[in-house]
Structure 1
Amino acid sequence: MKHSYEPAIKSLIVRLHKGNLVLPLNLMAELVTGSELAPSMHPGVEGWLHWRNRQIPVVSLESLCMAEEAGESDEGKCLILHTVSALPGLPFIALRVQGGLNTLEILPDTLRDDHSGNVQRCPYVARQVRASHLLCFIPDLPAIEAAVAEVLQLTAEQREPLLSE
């Protein structure tokens, strides 16, 4: 009998205001202090972070899920991620996080689905799991990126008339 070997996925566990996220480590670009955000008038985008000569949209999973009003975290940190969707003009997004990063190697049997306290299903959360005894969310990054891209498209449409005047 042949056993198939599935390699562990190096992952991050990052703290949110209420809860934790699990993300593949290879998506992380940098963890930065994001206290100086340019304001955003769009729901779902908390602000814009100037990072390496780019403006990166900052989102909060909790705000997107309407779990709470968009609010500053105590520490004002942003986790800059490479996007997973091939959306033009959106190579990075930033997630509002708290604290530092913990790494974890995830094997196929490491994560256990956990539906406790899952009163309201959020379209931006792919799974709610237990990892290292912590309740964690696996974000639906394509859905988050599509929502941000939609906001950016609206922004571009609103700016076009100004350019043609």
Structure 2
Amino acid sequence: MNPIQQPAIKSLIVRLHKGSLILPVNLMAELVTGGELTPSEHPGVEGWLQWRNRQIPVVSLESLCMQEEAGESDEGKCLILHTVSTLPSLPFIALRVQGGLNTLDILPDTLRDDHSGNVQRCPYVARQVRASHLLCFIPDLPAIEAVLAEVLQLTAEQSESALLE
């Protein structure tokens, strides 16, 4: 009797300043090159990208994990993602990325947990794995989105208090 074969998950592998990320393809909205960021005073938010008449918060996993200052990408590429949370104020987020996108079909045995060099756990990384001999991070999108939701709440409150003054 054959065990039921689980379907492969079509995934993206994207390069960060240091390391790579694995994300499901269905979360990707668009890869944007260039585009000036409006500065942000909030830690973890590199800035705001104007995209399709929306302000999208741009985050860098490295700066969220405090591994380094936001690695300024030479290319200025942002990967726009659909969010996994149901917050109406946060339909999209953008991740700072480098290079192009590679796809990978992930089966249950494709990924191997890899704990090398993971001295301090970042709360925004769900798993550190090897995929095709490449060290990759699987981001904890609900945790990242929760932080951004707090930032958006703070921004809204600051805007309201500025209006009241």
Superposed displacement of residue 35, structure 1:
4.3
Superposed displacement of residue 77, structure 1:
0.3
Aligned to 1:113: 113
Unaligned runs of 5+ in 2: none
Unaligned runs of 5+ in 1: none
1:45 aligns with 2:45: yes
Superposed displacement of residue 118, structure 1:
0.3
1:83 aligns with 2:83: yes
1:108-135: CA deviation from partner (whole Å, max 9, x where unpaired): 0000000000011000000000001100
Cα separation, 2, equivalents of 1:162 and 1:73: 33
TM-score w.r.t. the length of structure 1 is 0.97
CA contact under 8 A between 1:60 and 1:96: conserved in structure 2? Answer: yes
CA contact under 8 A between 2:129 and 2:135: conserved in structure 1? Answer: yes
Name the stretch that deviates more: 145-154 or 31-40.
31-40
Superposed displacement of residue 14, structure 1:
0.1
Aligned to 1:134: 134
Q: How many residues align?
A: 165
Name the stretch that deviates more: 104-113 or 25-34.
25-34
Give the alignment of 1:3-152 within 5 angstroms.
Answer: 3-152=3-152
Paired letter, 1:13: I
CA RMSD of aligned residues (A): 1.0
Quickly say closer, same or farther: Cα 1:7–1:32, change in 2 above 3 A.
same
Superposed displacement of residue 81, structure 1:
0.1
Paired letter, 2:153: Q
TM-score w.r.t. the length of structure 2 is 0.97
CA contact under 8 A between 2:44 and 2:60: conserved in structure 1? Answer: yes
Quickly say closer, same or farther: Cα 1:18–1:56, change in 2 above 3 A.
same
The 3-state SS of whatever aligns with 1:126 is: strand
Cα separation, 2, equivalents of 1:14 and 1:161: 39
Superposed displacement of residue 57, structure 1:
0.3
CA contact under 8 A between 2:62 and 2:71: conserved in structure 1? Answer: no
